């Protein structure tokens, strides 16, 4: 068992699960979406990105790209949340929550691709 591989897979799967946990629920209901979960999803996604640095293989480049996409989507979601919570007069409304969740859902797709690539890489190594 390779400790480095465990840590790597752990963070990638954790990024997916946190992201999924945040997205699940009614898209425009603020009560269904926990802000701390979004925060953790961002942090884990950033760590995943750093872990993927420096792999120059084709698969490695693809994984880094998906991670960067997820970061971008999640940070966009967080920025929208921050704007509505702190600056906009109406606060975090259902409409605002809908756009936040849709951004996070985009990140979810990127994270799913990332996990699929991880599985593919594992299968290739097995063979």
Partner 1 sequence: MNTLLYIMLRRLRMPLIALILVYAVSILGLVLIPGQDDQGQPWRMGFFHAFYFVSFMGSTIGFGEIPYPFTDAQRMWTLVCIYATVVTWLYAIGATLAVLQDQGFLRLIRTRRFAQKVRALEEPFYLVCGYGTTGREVVLGLERRGLRSVVIDIRQERIDQVSLEEFALPAYGFCADASLPDNLALAGLEKANCLGILALTDQDGVNLAISIASKLVKPKRMVISRSENDITSANLASFGTDLVINPFKQFAEYFGLAVHRPHQHLVYDWLINPQHRPLASIYKHAKGRWILCGFGRFGQALQQSLQSEATAVTLIEPNPNLVTGNTDYIEGVGTEAVTLDAARVREAVGIIAGTPNDADNLSIIMTAREMNAKLITVVRQNHAANELMFSNSRADFVMQPGHTVATKILAHIRTPLLELFLQQLNTKDEVWCHTLMNRISQSVGEERVDSRSFIISLEQTPAVFEAIKAGAEISLRNLMKRPYDRKASLDCFPLLLKRAGDIVLTPGELEALQIGDELLFCGRFEDLDDQLWILENRQTLNYVLNGTDDNPNPILRWIRTLNI
CB of 122 to partner 1, least distance (A): 21
CB of 85 to partner 1, least distance (A): 6
The candidate with the shortest Cα–Cα distance to 47, out of 19, 7, 81, is 7
Nearer to partner 1, 59 or 116 (CB): 59
CB of 46 to partner 1, least distance (A): 5
By CB under 8 A, name the binding residues for partner 1: 35-36, 39-40, 43, 46-47, 50-51, 53-54, 56, 78, 81-82, 85-86
Helix (H, G, I), strand (E, B) or coil at 27: coil
Residue 72 CB neighbour total at 10 angstroms: 15
Phi, psi (rounded to 5 degrees) for 80 = -60, -40
């Amino acid at each position: 068992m390779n400790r480095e591989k465990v840590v790597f897979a752990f963070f990638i799967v954790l990024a997916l699960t946190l992201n999924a946990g945040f997205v699940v629920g009614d898209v425009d209901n603020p009560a269904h979406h926990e802000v701390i979960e979004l925060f953790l999803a961002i942090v884990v996604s950033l760590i995943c990105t750093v872990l993927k640095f420096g792999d120059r293989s084709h698969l490695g480049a693809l994984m880094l790209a998906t991670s960067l996409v997820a970061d971008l989507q999640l940070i966009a979601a967080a920025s929208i949340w921050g704007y509505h919570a702190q600056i906009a007069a109406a606060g975090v409304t259902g409409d605002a929550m809908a756009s936040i969740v849709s951004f996070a859902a985009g990140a979810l797709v990127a994270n799913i691709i990332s996990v699929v690539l991880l599985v593919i890489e594992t299968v290739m190594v097995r063979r």
